[in-house]
Amino acid sequence: MYRKDIVPKSPSDRFAVREATMDDIQALTQLWYDSYNNSNTFWEVMTPDDPITRRWWDGVWAMGIEAGPTKIATAVVEDLENDKRLVAMGRLNVAQADGSQADYFMPEYPTTWDPQLTENFWGAMAKARKEIMGNRPHWYLKLSTTVVETFETGGESDEESSNNGSPPTTAAGNLTPGLRADDNRIIRTIFRASQTQWVDDPIITQWRNPEHRVHDVLARVDDLYQAWTSVSKSSFYPFADPLWLQTCGAVGKASLPWHSNQVGMPDDIDTSWPFHFKIFEQELVRKKGARVGDSSASGYVAQSSEANCWCIRALQQELREKSTSKPILVYDNFDEVTIHSARTFFGLESYRVSLSANVVDTCRDLMAMTREGNQQRPVIFAATMASRDGRCDNLDIICWFSKKIPLVLHVDASRNFDYITTLSDATRKRLGIKRLTLSKSLFQPLELRDDSVAAHTIVAGGADHTEVSFGIGLKPASLGDNQMHPRVAYIRGPDSTLSGSRDSLPPLIMALQEIRFGRRGFQEIYEKLAEIRMSLLQAFEVMGVEVHTPPYSLDIIFKSSSCSEERKAHLKSLGGVETRAGDIMIAIQPSVKRSDLLSIMSAISPDARLTALKRVLANAALNFEGSDFSRAYRVPQSVVDALRMTVESWKIQTRSAAGYPLHMGSCSALGPIVGKFLDVTIPTEWLKIEGDKLLDTRMRAFGLHDSGHNKAYQSQFKAAFTNGSTMGNRMAFTPR
């Protein structure tokens, strides 16, 4: 039944068709993943990209090629213009006279695969073919793949399907309907494909009914996903960038989120609670601490506002043992909300100074404010290196104060720590950026002999993937001669830990950013961005545009006095945000392109001067189009595989946990959907509107919006989301 001309001639001079050989095995496996796993999340579940499954695919190709073309014909297509890269393949089960065409040439399925899903997919197709064809001789296409970017079409799926890499429907009728990767039903596809891992309960079991209203909700979620993923990303938005967001995709590929939290500090490990990523957080704290001279620093990951409060509280606790006078919290450009929290939570008195005023007068006033009898009250100076308004405190002046007043320094570098701690010494000096050192010495002048600035606590961050920034609160393990408190009494939980439970995904994502880029990667990126900003500033100087450029960040602030409403609108459309002073702030981010820079210049000066301005950029000693950081830096596949195996072990444990420590049903059903949004930018306005709706609904349930209460009474209550003891699924209500 075998025909020698089964492998056709190529219809194009660019491509060559030939029979596959044993040398093609690994390339065939990679071709499968390039074609299928990049096309639809179904395949990430069905054939995960892990070492075990890759070995299985190697076995599939090897057994077929070894069987020979009289039984299994495997053809490949080479791209002659791309080093003969394999860009397509087909595997054909050849008709046999006796009808013996069972799938003998397939290895045993990996034991790590879900057995029910495996049988429903691979087994159901073989069963359906047997029922339809019986023992009649027949040809059938077993496997076919293509590389989308080469042929601009998806790969064919198994046997009867032609759904371009999507899960097929079979005669048995028990498989997920076929969907294209760009179909607007991808969320519903993931929902159905994940049913084999559900931890059922009376509510979730109802969701298996295709008529249940949850499917209408998921249809709306599909619409949101399509809308948000189709929005073009701005390279000038100050608080997030697509490059940093990409790292979150690795978290989704590892089958997260599953229920997990980070109870206590990174080194507080309870063996009865395995659902955490503390090993990642420990290494993250070590590496960030090493950049400021203390690889044994203590700390943890939290929202930047909480991390700042924790650091301030750590200094307050230490000063209680070092001084008989109460410390006073001093600041200039530091976040007012955090200062208010410190006053409220810790009972600290605060005092605002102006570092831009006369230094001598300011110091004299501060000394008078902190004088208590014959003593000076100790000062906790809270300084920011890059506020959300683009403001930056002057470290030189604060260092001068430290020579006159007993002072400890807390630094908020949640937006720019990676920037200022990875630049080369030459670049830092050229930009006027002081090096930070995490100091153990109290009440010493802050300017050290090596020209660095001593900071006693630091919030470290920078690679922000979401507008709500996260940071690592860093403090020395000891200050002065004594060991620092092992715990900082910030928000005491009933278990005496720092704050009870913490969501484990932010520490993991920050750790993956560090693994992906490391000091070398951050340095390459940020030094290139600093040069881009310098080129832009040269262009603005030619244009006579008034801008402010804080030294410790990549922000550029357009003063309101030089911005018409039309110019403001144009800058906002490119990602700029309006500050409280009415200025427009942009930031040079890793995803910037030459076209983005020209768009900024067009927003400033659309006239004929653009020709001269383009020349300014062209003459810059920089070819920023030549760098594709997303390809140069990736999360290692070994790390993703390790995460996936960890999460799979969690799933096994939770299925036999009988609800202890809590029921995991919602995560098992909705986790795969949430994971799909981890690397998607969700509009801030949408979050605010929907969050307010949820809070309003809950407040009504508690009678706080009852018609019997007047608005004045209702306004006494505020509501907020909190991690609580689960993955962000709790709310809190408090009087104002």
Q: Mean pLDDT, to the nearest integer, of 30-45?
A: 75
Query: Percent of the chain, pLDDT > 90?
Result: 36
Q: How far is CA 285 from CA 17, 281, 475, 499, in A?
A: 53, 6, 10, 18
Q: Report d(CA 465, CA 590) in Å as an integer.
A: 12
Residue by residue, DSSP assigns 455-518 as ESEEEE----SSSS-EEEEEE-SEETTEEPPSS--SS--TTSSSSS--BSHHHHHHHHHHHHHH
Q: Write the single-letter amino acid at 630.
A: S
Q: Pairing between strand 457-460 and 407-413?
A: parallel
The answer to whether residues 31 and 86 touch, using CB atoms and an 8 Å cutoff, is yes
Is this structure's pTM higher than 0.95? no
Q: Mean pLDDT, to the nearest integer, of 115-123?
A: 74
pLDDT in the model for residue 469? 85
Q: How far apart are the first and last CA of the chain?
A: 83
What digits encode the pLDDT tens for the residues 121-163? 777 667 777 777 777 777 766 677 776 555 443 333 333 333 3
Cα 360-364-370 angle, rounded to 5 deg = 145
DSSP run (H or E) holding 89 = strand 85-93
What pLDDT band is residue 38 in, cutting at 50, 70 and 90? low
> What totals of helices (H) and strands (E) does the chain contain, helices first?
26, 23
Which of the pair, 176 or 9, is modelled with greater confidence? 9
Copy the structure tokens of residue 529.
């961005």
Copy the structure tokens of residue 18.
């030939």
Q: Mean pLDDT, to the nearest integer, of 271-290?
A: 91
Is 488's pLDDT higher than 70? Answer: no
pLDDT in the model for residue 668? 86
Copy the structure tokens of residue 311.
């650091």
* CA-based torsion, 575, 578, 583, 588: positive or negative: negative
Q: Mean pLDDT, to the nearest integer, of 366-377?
A: 90
Q: Report d(CA 687, CA 670) in Å as an integer.
A: 18
What is the 3-state composition of the chain as percent helix, strand, coil, each rounded to the nearest 5? 45, 15, 40
What digits encode the pLDDT tens for the residues 676-731? 999 998 888 898 888 888 878 887 787 776 555 556 666 666 666 655 443 334 44
Residue by residue, DSSP assigns 438-455 as E---SSS-SB-TTS-EEE
Which residues, in sequence order, are bridge partners of residue 438? Answer: 455
Q: Report d(CA 571, CA 308) in Å as an integer.
A: 31
What pLDDT band is residue 490 in, cutting at 50, 70 and 90? very low
Average pLDDT, the chain: 80
Smallest CA-to-CA distance from 325 within 366, 367, 373 is with 373
pLDDT in the model for residue 263? 75
Q: Write the single-letter amino acid at 416.
A: N
**Lowest mean per-residue pLDDT among 20-29, 50-59, 239-248, 598-607:** 598-607
| Helix 505-543, helix 594-604: angle, nearest 10 | 50
Q: Mean pLDDT, to the nearest integer, of 330-354?
A: 94
Is 494's pLDDT higher than 60? Answer: no
Is 606's pLDDT higher than 60? Answer: yes
What pLDDT band is residue 40 in, cutting at 50, 70 and 90? low
Which of the pair, 474 or 700, is modelled with greater confidence? 474
Q: Cβ neighbours of residue 438 under 8 Å, at least 6 residues apart?
A: 289, 292, 293, 294, 297, 455, 456, 457, 458, 474, 475, 476
**Lowest mean per-residue pLDDT among 153-162, 278-287, 474-483, 711-720:** 153-162
Is 200's pLDDT higher than 70? Answer: yes
What pLDDT band is residue 600 in, cutting at 50, 70 and 90? confident
Copy the structure tokens of residue 276.
């955490």
Which of the pair, 107 or 621, is modelled with greater confidence? 107
pLDDT in the model for residue 622? 47
What pLDDT band is residue 510 in, cutting at 50, 70 and 90? very high
Is 4's pLDDT higher than 50? Answer: no
What pLDDT band is residue 33 in, cutting at 50, 70 and 90? confident
Q: Report d(CA 309, CA 29) in Å as an integer.
A: 50
Residue by residue, DSSP assigns 565-616 as HHHHHHHHHTT-EE-TTS-EEEE--TT--HHHHHHHHHHH--STTHHHHHHH
Is 175's pLDDT higher than 50? Answer: no
Is 215's pLDDT higher than 80? Answer: yes
The answer to whether residues 274 and 535 touch, using CB atoms and an 8 Å cutoff, is no
Is 361's pLDDT higher than 50? Answer: yes
Is 635's pLDDT higher than 90? Answer: yes
Number of CB atoms found within 10 A of residue 397's CB: 18
What digits encode the pLDDT tens for the residues 381-425? 999 999 999 999 999 999 999 999 999 999 999 999 999 999 999
**Lowest mean per-residue pLDDT among 355-359, 484-488, 542-546:** 484-488
Q: Write the single-letter amino acid at 609.
A: R
Q: Pairing between strand 371-372 and 375-376?
A: antiparallel
Residue by residue, DSSP assigns 147-189 as -HHHHSSPPP-STT--SSSSPPP-TT--SPPP--TTSTTHHHH
Q: How far is CA 596 from CA 157, 574, 579, in A?
A: 40, 8, 22
Q: Mean pLDDT, to the nearest integer, of 217-228?
A: 94
- Using a CB cutoff of 8 Å and minimum separation of 24, what contacts does 44-49 make? 44/253, 45/114, 45/117, 45/190, 45/193, 45/194, 45/672, 46/117, 46/121, 46/167, 46/193, 48/644, 49/253, 49/637, 49/640
What digits encode the pLDDT tens for the residues 569-585? 989 999 999 999 999 99
pLDDT in the model for residue 152? 42
The answer to whether residues 75 and 83 touch, using CB atoms and an 8 Å cutoff, is no
What is the SS3 assignment for 101-155? CCCCCCCCCCCCCCHHHHHHHHHHHHHHHHHHHCCCCCCEEEEEEECHHHHCCCC
Q: Mean pLDDT, to the nearest integer, of 354-359?
A: 95
Q: Report d(CA 315, CA 440) in Å as an integer.
A: 11
Q: Mean pLDDT, to the nearest integer, of 605-620?
A: 56
For residue 405, the SS3 value is coil
Cα 391-394-400 angle, rounded to 5 deg = 160
Q: Mean pLDDT, to the nearest integer, of 3-12?
A: 53
